[in-house]
Chains A and B, each alone.
Chain A
């Protein structure tokens, strides 16, 4: 069943520096609290959001995040879209593997975030940029 969710509210935030991470997380939390998301789901959402925003800063030279309150059927949730105009990812399948990193890190940001979210899509084109969209449902 793929009904498109209805967008109830839209907010955007530009992220260009490391110091934007904490305020960004607070903003996501505000929206999650507003729709009454459970504490566990909030924690998963914000942790995943933190991973994606860090990737955007580290590999994509920063970018813009869209924070939306969406509703589908009886459930509502938060949808986040991370868009950067960085170098892009040559091999997405590889990037999605646990442990794959080009940044001498742990390589768990992308696969870990996918596990934490209800929906996860990644689009990337070399030389153009990367867009990651995730949704966490209030009761998902």
Chain B
């Protein structure tokens, strides 16, 4: 079975979707990404959809699931490079990409993820200052 490669770049995972995905392939990608996030402790997931010409509710749900599950493991998800026609169509269809950030391209997506990590670190420092009880 063919697989979509997941690249590791520092704290982030990068996936480039280059073909119109069969459902099974999309579901495998979801499972693979989620397990990779947990294994690598990644802080962010970038999904490049610039070659994707159709996102229907099925694919939209897969993207949403990836974001939700990654968030549970403390990683943010950014979908990058969505074609304007695809973005317009998604809005008209009424599909909310819940918890999914979007960015123009991979570089911008990286910037977005980096800024999120910085914010979180600041928050954590504040929390530590306040001496909030730690879990464990």
Contacts and interface: CB of A to CB of B under 8 A. Distances in A.
Contacts of B115: none
A109 interface: yes
A106 B61 contact: yes
Contacts of A54: 56-58
A109 B58 CA distance: 10
Name the residue in B23, B86, B93 with the highest tally of chain A Cβ atoms < 10 Å from its Cβ. Answer: B93
A111 B94 CA distance: 9
A44 B92 contact: yes
B53 interface: yes
Name the residue in B23, B94, B95 with the highest tally of chain A Cβ atoms < 10 Å from its Cβ. Answer: B94
Contacts of B58: 50, 54
Given A22-B22, A116-B93, A50 B56 contact: yes
A40 to B, nearest CB: 5
B40 interface: no
Interface string B17-28: 000111110000
Smallest CB-CB A-B distances: 7 pairs: A112-B93, A50-B56, A43-B85, A40-B85, A112-B94, A108-B94, A43-B89
Given A47-B55, A116-B93, 19 more contacts: A18-B22, A19-B22, A21-B23, A40-B85, A40-B89, A43-B53, A43-B88, A44-B89, A50-B54, A51-B56, A51-B57, A54-B56, A105-B61, A106-B61, A108-B93, A108-B94, A112-B92, A115-B93, A116-B89
B contact patch SS: helix
Interface in B76-102: 83-86, 88-89, 92-95
B21 to A, nearest CB: 8
Q: Range of interface residues on chain A?
A: 20 to 34
B57 A112 contact: yes
